[in-house]
Structure 1
Amino acid sequence: MKRREIIKQLGVVPVAGSLMASQSMLGGTLGSVTGPLMTKSSKGPSIYESLGIDTIINCRGTFTILGGSTERPEVIEAIEAASGYFVQYDELAEGIGRRLAEITKADWGMVSAGCAAGMKHVTAACVTGGNPEKLIRIPHIDDFEKNEVIIPRSSRNYYDHAIRNIGVKVITVDSPEEMREAINPRTAMIYIMTGDDNETGKPLSLEVISEIAKPKNIPVLADAAAEDLSIPCVHLERGATVVAYSGGKAICGPQCAGLLLGDKDLLMAAWQASSPHHGPGRDNKVGKEEMLGMLAAVEAWTTRDHDKEWQIWLGWLDEISSKLTKIDGITSEVTLPKGLNNRTPRLILKWDPDKLHITGEEVAEEVARNKPRIAIGGWSRGDSTSINITPSQMRPGNAKVVADRLYEVLSQKREPISDEMVSPSEDISGHWEVDVAYFTSNSGHKFFLEQDGNWISGSHTSEYASQDIIGMIEGDEVVLRSNFRIPGNGISFWFIGKISNGELSGSVFLGEYLTAKFAAKKVSYRQNRTKLNVPGGPPLAT
């Protein structure tokens, strides 16, 4: 295996296409901040620059960590119009719900503090039935008549935390037969994430799930967070009870708002579980400005020239492709979406990394960390590597900046990366006791490592699980990586440190969960070389 390939697998440097960690998270600084943080003239990038923060050209899409989507002008106008006045929130929710129903042809509508908050409120509605005495007891719901949620395994994801926050027991199923068997009097709801696995014709399609659920009066919540809004909503027509959308994705509403469409009674119970009412949803407060901004985004959806937007996106991709394919060895293609989820064209630029002597991941990392900062995706497969560019959140003028910057990086002459590695300064094979220092606590971990030259493999026992670990050592520098996985969630541990006299220490990069520090010592075992005699049968005395 080539050195570049093993480094790619280890992910020595967090890839810009997926992590975008700031320098400060990794122990650096953002630079000094001078002058007032915000003034009346602090518009556009300057409001961020006043904090020492760089803005980023978004060629990745509607990722929350990058700010979601750009709000429509109609949204900004509605937010400004709503500001400075006072209304009774239940009356506002009633008016917005009625208006959303008129626009979307759904039974009712509700604005939440993001899609995940909406999922949480709907789950609360399903376990309480609108009974406030039950509502204020959440998450202590073991004695509730309804306290279980069924989720197909293909729909388990990071965001079903919002559902689990209510305290429900999640039942994971893999087939219609398992779903039928899992349903019982305690089943409060079925949740799915819309996508390929529940398309019409699939074993657990929304139609099949609805056919199973409806005779038993079990609500079905469809999570369509990143989808284009369909009017009338295709998922409601296929049998969902409520559909949840993100405000800060395709709809281009407020990043901190979500949209719920569906059954009025269930959504009224969900609104009851939402702020301003006290209870488990008080921590998911949505302001009147965001509520009206979300309504404005839905109204704008019906008047936007979506075809024109699509042609603009294609034009930007063509501008970038035309420049970069002038570099010998780079080819391009535009892929088109098949469904409603993340519906945008995407430009893929490919090359042989052994010819240009740089990988897609390395390009993504370079443009992510250095001005002008650009977020792109970078991938490698065998003897091909690529970067991908999603245009839906690019702004006018970005295409030229992106094309020029990528051309600058990819047209540079580079020497082949040597496969030679510095010899290890120590053999780190063995059992290690590891202390991981988080922000306000410490956790005991263990490494069981085997070293073969520069390469390391073994197991990593974290606080709640054990997982494989791989890594490398060059001189006294050590890099180790492991992945902790549970249904719907995962954590990547990247241990980056130095070895000295049998002690290993450094930093732990935790992806979206920022960083920690670690210190490890090799365990020495007492050598007791006494011959062991195996008993020939049961003991004659205890």
Structure 2
Amino acid sequence: MKRREIIKQLGVVPVAGSLMASQSMLGGTLGSVTGPLMTKSSKGPSIYESLGIDTIINCRGTFTILGGSTERPEVIEAIEAASGYFVQYDELAEGIGRRLAEITKADWGMVSAGCAAGMKHVTAACVTGGNPEKLIRIPHIDDFEKNEVIIPRSSRNYYDHAIRNIGVKVITVNSAEEMREAINPRTAMIYIMTGDDNETGKPLSLEVISEIAKPKNIPILADAAAEDLSIPCVHLERGATVVAYSGGKAICGPQCAGLLLGDKDLLMAAWQASSPHHGPGRDNKVGKEEMLGMLAAVEAWTTRDHDKEWQTWLGWMDEISSKLTKIDGITPEVTLPKGLNNRTPRLILKWDPDKLNITGEEVAEIVARTKPRIAIGGGSRGDSSAITITPSQMRPGNAKVVADRLYEILSQEREPISDEMVSPSEDISGHWEADVKYFTSNSTHKFFLEQDGNWISGTHTSENGSQDMIGMIEGDEVVLRSSFRIPGNGISFWFTGKISNGELSGSVFLGEYLTAKFAAKKVSYRQNRKKLNVPGGPPLAT
């Protein structure tokens, strides 16, 4: 296997030829703080720069970790108008719910502190039926009449943790027949994440689920977080009871707001489970500013020139493509969305990595860590390498900056990257015990490794699971990777460190869960070379 292939599998980009993850990936320090926080009187990125933080040109889309989407001017105006006045929140929720119903043609509407919070509140409503005596007992719900939620396997995802937070038992099903068998008097709700697997005509489509659930009065919660808003809501028409949207994605409302549309009684019970009311939802506080900002975003959705926005995105993509295709070997491809989810065109720029001597992953890492910082997708497509530009959250003027920066990188003459590797300084085959130091605790992990030249394979036993591990060693530098997975969640571990005299130490990159440190030692087994006698029959004494 080529050096670059194993690095691609490891997911660690070798910036400047180093096998070690970049300092910024491992929680490096920010730039220096330049003074007090800048106020709104300073236009542009000054408020972030005053904290030593770089702004990023977003060519990736509505990812929360980048800030979601840019709020519409109408949203900012509504937030500012709401600030400085006091209202009774139940009265505000009533007025907003009624207005959302008028706009969207749904039975009712509610604003939550993000889509996941809304999913949590709806789950609480389904479990309690709006009974506050039950509400204040969450998550201790084992003796509740309703305490189970059914989720199709194709809908299990990181965000269903919001549902599990209520304390429900999740029943995962693979087919309509399994769903019918799973339904029982304790079934509180069925949850789906909208997408291809539950589209009309599929074996477990929303229509099929509705036919199963509605006769038994089981609510269906449809998670459409990243979708365009449809009026009337297509998922409600297909049988969902409540549909949840993110405020900070396609709708371009407040990043910390969510939108719930559907059955009024169920949404009133969900509002009861939400802040400002005490109970399991008090920790998901939504302010009057976000509530009115979300309403303003929905109102603006009905008047936005969506065709003009689309043409603007295509124009930015064309500007970038026209610049980069001047480089011999780069070919463009435009992909168009098929559904409502993440509905934006995308520009894919492909090339032969052996011709330009750089991969898409490496380009994405360079622009992510150096100024001007740009977030793009990077990966491989067959024998080609590629970068992906998603224009929906780009701002005017970004396209030229992106085109110039990518042209600068991709047009550089580079020497072919050799597949020759530095010989390992040690053989790390064997059983290792690692002390992983998190922010406020330690955990013991075990590695069972086999080494074949520079390549490493084996098993990683973490605190709650055992998973395959792959890696590489060059000189005294070691990179190991594994992924821990459970339904609905997962954690990737990248161990990067140096080995010396049977001891390995360094950093652990945990993806979205930040970083840790580790120190590992090879386990030596005490030799006991006695002949073993196998009993010839059952014991005569116990």
TM-score higher than 0.5 here? Answer: yes
Number of aligned residue pairs: 542
Q: Is the 8 A contact 1:17 1:377 kept in 2?
A: no
Residue 61 of structure 1 and its aligned partner are, at CA, apart by 0.2
Relative distance call for 1:2 and 1:25 in structure 2 (3 A) is closer
Alignment of 1:466 with 2:466, yes or no, is: yes
Distance change >3 Å, CA 21–CA 135, structure 1 → 2: farther
1:475-534 CA-to-partner distances (Å, cap 9, x unmatched) read 110000000000011100000001001000000000000000001010001111111122
Deviation at residue 536 of structure 1 after TM alignment? 1.7
The answer on whether the counterparts of 2:435 and 2:520 sit within 8 Å (CA) in structure 1 is yes
Deviation at 1:44, TM superposition (A): 2.1
Is the Cα–Cα contact under 8 Å of residues 447 and 459 in structure 2 kept in the other structure? Answer: yes
**Residues 335-368 of structure 1 deviation map (CA, whole Å, 9 limit, x = unaligned):** 0000000000000000010100000000000001
1:400-419 alignment runs, 5 A limit = 400-419=400-419
> 1: CA distance between counterparts of 2:21 and 2:419?
28
What CA RMSD, in Å, does the superposition of the two structures yield over aligned residues?
Answer: 2.1
Query: What is the SS of the residue equivalent to 1:290?
Result: helix
In the alignment, structure 2 segments of 5+ residues that lack a partner are none
- Range with greater deviation from structure 2 (285-294 or 33-42): 33-42
CA-CA distance at 1:27 after TM superposition: 4.3
Distance 1:24 1:15, change over 3 A: closer
Alpha-carbon deviations, 1:348-390, whole Å to 9, x = none? Answer: 0000101000000000000010000000000113421100000
Identity of aligned residues (%): 95
Residue-by-residue CA offset, 1:186-219 (whole Å, 9 max, x unaligned): 0000000000000000011000000000000000
| Paired residues of 2:13 and 2:361 also in contact (CA < 8 A) | no
Following the alignment from structure 1 to structure 2, what is the Cα–Cα distance between the partners of residues 502 and 377? Answer: 38
**1:293-352 superposed Cα distances (whole Å, 9 cap, x missing partner):** 000000000000000000000000000001101100000011000000000000000001
Matched residue SS, 1:271: helix
Q: Residue 162 and residue 234 in structure 1: after superposition, are their counterparts in 2 closer, same or farther (change >3 A)?
A: same
Contact 1:98 1:108 in 2 (8 A): yes
Q: Is the 8 A contact 2:26 2:508 kept in 1?
A: no
**Alignment deviations for residues 433-492 of structure 1 (CA, whole Å, 9 cap, x no partner):** 111000000001100000001000000000000000000000110000000000011100
Deviations 1:219-257 (A, max 9, x none): 000000000000000000000000000000000000000
Aligned equivalents of 2:18, 2:203: Cα separation in 1? 32
What is the CA–CA distance in structure 2 between the aligned matches of 1:381 and 1:295, rounded to whole Å?
Answer: 41
Report the secondary structure of 2:91's partner residue.
helix
Q: Any conservation in 1 of the 2:13–2:21 contact (CA below 8 Å)? A: no
**Aligned partners of 2:508 and 2:517 also within 8 Å:** yes
Deviation at 1:17, TM superposition (A): 19
Per the TM alignment, residue 118 of structure 1 is displaced from its structure 2 partner at its CA by: 0.3
Separation in 1, partners of 2:23, 2:426: 30
Residue 22 (structure 1) shift: 9.1
Q: 2:245 matched to which residue of 1?
A: 245
Residue 24 (structure 1) shift: 5.4
In structure 1, C-alpha distance between the alignment counterparts of 2:59 and 2:5, rounded to whole Å? 26
Q: 1:16 to 1:100 in 2, by over 3 A?
A: farther
2:436 matched residue in structure 1: 436
The equivalent of 1:315 in structure 2 is 315
SS at match of 1:191: strand
SS at match of 2:15: coil
Distance 1:217 1:504 in 2: 58
Change (3 A) 1:3 1:24: closer
CA change 1:113–1:40 in 2 (3 A) is closer
Q: Tell whether the 8 Å contact from 1:17 to 1:376 is kept in structure 2 after alignment.
A: no
Alpha-carbon shift at residue 20 of structure 1 (Å) = 16
Shift of residue 38 of structure 1? 2.5
Deviation at 1:538, TM superposition (A): 1.9
8 Å CA contact 2:110–2:271 kept in 1: the answer is yes
The 1:19–1:88 alpha-carbon spacing in structure 2 relative to 1, beyond 3 Å, is farther
Relative distance call for 1:29 and 1:166 in structure 2 (3 A) is same
- CA 1:134–1:14 in structure 2 vs 1: closer, same or farther (change >3 Å)? farther
Name the counterpart of 2:218.
218
Distance 2:78 2:536 in 1: 85
Change (3 A) 1:295 1:39: closer
1:479-494 correspondence to structure 2 within 5 Å:
479-494=479-494
* Distance change (3 Å), C-alpha of 1:289 and 1:15: farther
Residues 192 and 239 (structure 1 numbering): CA distance in 2 closer, same or farther, change over 3 Å?
same
**Structure 2: distance between partners of 1:382 and 1:348:** 14
Question: How far apart, CA to CA, are the structure 1 residues paired with 2:256 and 2:167?
Answer: 24
CA gap 1:98/1:222 in 2 versus in 1, 3 angstroms: same
- Distance change >3 Å, CA 150–CA 437, structure 1 → 2: same
Residue range with higher mean Cα deviation, 322-331 or 33-42? 33-42
Give the secondary structure class of the aligned counterpart of 1:394.
Answer: coil
Moved more, 172-181 or 5-14: 5-14
* Distance in 2 between residues matched to 1:343 and 1:486, nearest whole Å: 29
5+ residue gaps, structure 1, are: none
CA 19–199 in structure 1, closer or farther in 2 if over 3 Å, else same: farther
* Distance change (3 Å), C-alpha of 1:20 and 1:89: farther
**For the Cα contact (< 8 Å) 2:12–2:21, is it kept in 1?**
no
Contact 1:336 1:344 in 2 (8 A): yes
What's the offset of the Cα at 1:13? 3.2
Q: Is the 8 A contact 1:507 1:517 kept in 2?
A: yes
Structure 1 residues 519 and 21, CA, compared in 2 at 3 Å: closer, same or farther?
A: closer
CA distance in 1, matches of 2:42, 2:484: 43
Which residue is equivalent to 1:6?
6
Q: For the structure 1 residues 200 and 68, does the alpha-carbon distance in structure 2 shift closer, same or farther, using more than 3 Å as the test?
A: same
Residue of structure 2 in register with 1:56 after alignment: 56
Task: Say if 2:447 and 2:460, in contact at 8 Å, map to a contact too.
Answer: yes
**Residue equivalent to 1:127:** 127
The 10-residue stretch of structure 1 (506-515 or 33-42) with the greater mean CA deviation from structure 2: 33-42
| CA distance in 1 between partners of 2:159 and 2:36 (Å) | 38
Aligned counterparts, 1:195-234, within 5 A: 195-234=195-234
After superposition, the Cα gap between the structure-2 partners of 1:14 and 1:73, relative to the gap in structure 1 and judged at 3 Å, is: farther
> Aligned to 2:505, what secondary structure does the other structure show?
strand
Matched position secondary structure for 2:16: coil
Which residue in 2 is equivalent to 1:80?
80
- Return the alpha-carbon distance in structure 2 between the equivalents of residues 470 and 171 of structure 1: 33
Relative to structure 1, the CA distance from residue 185 to residue 19 in structure 2 (aligned partners, 3 Å threshold; closer, same or farther) is farther
2:163 counterpart SS class? helix
Give the structure-2-normalised TM-score.
0.98
The 3 A distance-change label for structure 1 pair 359 and 22 is closer
State the Cα distance separating 1:15 from its structure 2 match: 10
Runs of at least 4 residues off by over 4 Å: 14-25
Instruction: Classify the secondary structure of the residue corresponding to 1:320.
Output: helix
Work out whether residues 222 and 244 of structure 2, in 8 Å CA contact, stay in contact via their aligned partners in 1: yes
In the alignment, the residues of structure 1 paired with residue 369 and residue 208 of structure 2 have an alpha-carbon distance, to the nearest angstrom, of: 47
1:37 offset after TM fit, Å? 2.2
Cα distance change of structure 1 residues 463 and 334 upon mapping to structure 2, 3 Å threshold: same
Question: CA separation of 1:311/1:176 partners in 2, compared to 1, >3 Å: closer, same or farther?
Answer: same
CA contact (8 A) 1:313 1:345 kept: yes
Distance between the aligned counterparts of 1:377 and 1:383, measured in 2? 17
Matches of 1:382 and 1:536, distance apart in 2: 58
- What secondary structure is seen at the aligned counterpart in 2 of 1:26? coil
8 Å contact kept, 2:124–2:273: yes
CA-CA distance at 1:268 after TM superposition? 0.2
